[in-house]
Amino acid sequence: MVAQTAVHARRLVGEEFIAAGARGYHYRVLAALQEFGPASQAELGRRCRMDRSDVVVAVTELEGQGFVERAADPADRRRNTVTITRAGTQQLRRLDRTLDKVQDELLAPLSATERQTLVALLGMVVKHHGGAPTS
């Protein structure tokens, strides 16, 4: 049942992100930059649990859309530092609203109390497996 729900949730998120002109990797990078501040691409890969090549693709796409800026690190010119822009912060807010919409759709059959209980329980599961629940 968990796998079926995860597949359905991933499909809903994917469809909504595509409609917003984004991908999951974009959200992960923007959220990490917003939460932790500017970072090297290698650091983003570790924080987002993304392969280095996927980070490069995501950052290149986000930079092309004006959502991040990439510049050589003054301390180490071989390394790029990535920073979220004002437009990137606005895009992150839009994607957060998209995720709220998807969560509402996914959990529509549950009462408000059931939703709170499920979200709390899922947060416990995520935390147990080394993640940091966001709400």
- Domains: count for the chain: 1
Would 135 be classed as within a structural domain? Answer: no
Does the residue 35 lie in any domain? yes
Share of the chain above pLDDT 70, in %: 96
Residue 95 pLDDT greater than 90, yes or no = yes
pLDDT at 102 over 90: yes
pLDDT, mean of residues 51-65: 95
Q: Quick one: pLDDT at residue 134?
A: 52
Q: Can you tell me the mean pLDDT for 105-116?
A: 95
Q: Is 134 contained in some domain? A: no
Q: Is residue 82 part of a domain?
A: yes
pLDDT at 135: 47
Task: Kindly state the average pLDDT of the residues 43-57.
Answer: 94
Mean of pLDDT values over 114-125:
93
Domain assignment of residue 58, yes or no = yes
The domain of 18 spans 2-128
- The radius of gyration of the chain from alpha carbons, rounded to an integer in Å, stands at 16
pTM of the predicted structure, to 2 decimals:
0.86
- SS3 call for 50: coil
Sign of CA dihedral 6, 39, 98, 108: positive
CATH code (residue 59): 1.10.10.10
Contacts for 80 with CB less than 8 Å, ≥ 6 apart? 40, 41, 59, 70, 71, 72, 73
Q: What is the mean pLDDT of the chain?
A: 92
Residue 133, in any domain of the structure: no
Decide: helix, strand or coil at residue 75: coil
Query: What pLDDT is attached to residue 105?
Result: 94
What are 80's strand-pairing partners? 72
